[in-house]
Structure 1
Amino acid sequence: MTSTCSMQPCSPKRAVLASFDHAYALALRMRHETGRPQFVLRTGDPFQPFRVSSTGPQRRQALMTLVA
């Protein structure tokens, strides 16, 4: 699991919810539910470092993985 709390102190629960592993698990569930490919994106925001989207990366986001 990737911790995202190096810059700001945060709770252990936030560290789990903001992790890449959590975003990837969510992307798998969303792919199963919607039937559409899901992207796990790095945002650069310390409070939401990863997000899941059905569209590709936008400005200031990096593609981490695609669940097709």
Structure 2
Amino acid sequence: MKEGRISLRTLIDHFVIDSFGGGGRTCIPTRAYPKLLLAGGNHTYVFNNGSEIVKIRKLEAWEMAKDRIN
């Protein structure tokens, strides 16, 4: 942690969600099976369950390319 900052990288691939914190020192893997995902009504939320205030200074998202089978 630098100056009270942490990094979090989350990779979402269909039903698998992997979150890596602190440059990969912590990993939180999970699976999700939302019904809305199949209908195209999905959203991503960021929330804090801690007792301290957290400010998100930068949030970036990219769409993964489709896989290619040769």
Q: Which has the higher contact order (CA 8 A, sep 6+)?
A: 1
Q: Which structure has greater helix proportion?
A: 1
Whichever of the two has the greater Rg, that structure is 2
TM-score using structure 2 length: 0.23
